[in-house]
């Protein structure tokens, strides 16, 4: 495997498990936005980043990337 001097999008290589249902984490990830209106504005970016990461993992596992 070649190391890149720049980040590569998606989950780390080898993190895909064929038994994992990619849809399993989607509801949980989106639920992370449920109480967003009660959080200070400064914490919104961190919450959006966490949800984005979870959705990216789910999407890339569907594509088997």
Helices (H) and strands (E) in the chain, counts: 2, 0
26, 61 contact by CB (below 8 A): no
Confidence of residue 57 (pLDDT cuts 50, 70, 90): confident
Domain locations along the chain: 24-32+40-63
Class of residue 10 by CB neighbours under 10 A (exposed 0-12, middle 13-18, buried 19+)? middle
Query: Does 65 or 42 have the greater pLDDT score?
Result: 42
61, 16 contact by CB (below 8 A): yes
pTM for the model stands at 0.57
- pLDDT tens string 7-37: 656 555 555 455 556 677 788 888 889 989 9
CA–CA separation, 32 and 48 (whole Å)? 8
């Amino acid at each position: 495997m070649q190391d890149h001097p720049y980040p590569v999008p998606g989950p780390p290589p080898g993190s895909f498990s064929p038994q994992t249902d990619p849809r399993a984490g989607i509801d949980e990830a989106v639920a992370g936005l449920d109480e967003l209106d009660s959080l200070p504005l400064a914490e919104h970016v961190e919450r959006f980043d966490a949800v984005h990461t979870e959705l990216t993992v789910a999407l890339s596992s569907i594509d088997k990337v």
